[in-house]
Amino acid sequence: MLVFAAIIGGFMMISICWLLFKRSQLSVAQLMVAVFLLGLLLAIESRGRRFAGRTFWLYVLLYGISRYVIEVYRDDPRGMVGTFSTSQFISMILVPLAVAMLIYLAR
């Protein structure tokens, strides 16, 4: 029930932001990703073996993956580290770190 409430609340927040920003052609992609990750994270957290730090590192893992994918589709030159955008480069550090921490803390 908590997952459902979080998702509905998130969609309401997205709708309000869309109404506020629709004239400026801005997208609230980061807000949409955050709401989606929150709902997914709450659904995942109700299952499996729990341990200290699991929620945080799962969020870091999911955020890193989703941010990398979003940056593939963005078309604005904001800063590059080699051939990757800055956000992709940070995500490439966060994802392996989160996986390593989840494995370490699960023991």
Q: What percent of the chain has pLDDT over 70?
A: 65
Tokens of 37: 């990750």
Instruction: Identify whether the C-beta of residue 65 lies closer than 8 Å to the C-beta of residue 92.
Output: no
Is 0.75 surpassed by the pTM of this model? no
d(CA 26, CA 98): 31
What's 80's DSSP letter?
A: E
Residue 63: pLDDT over 70: yes
The larger pLDDT score, comparing residue 98 to residue 73, is at 98
The average confidence (pLDDT) of the chain is 75
Closest among 71, 62, 1 to 36, alpha carbons compared: 62
Tokens of 78: 């904001």
Bridge-based pairing of strands 80-81 and 84-85 is antiparallel
Closest among 40, 16, 37 to 28, alpha carbons compared: 16
Per residue in 82-107, pLDDT (tens digit) is 788 888 888 999 999 999 999 998 88
Per residue in 20-37, pLDDT (tens digit) is 666 555 556 666 677 777
Instruction: Identify whether the C-beta of residue 79 lies closer than 8 Å to the C-beta of residue 86.
Output: yes
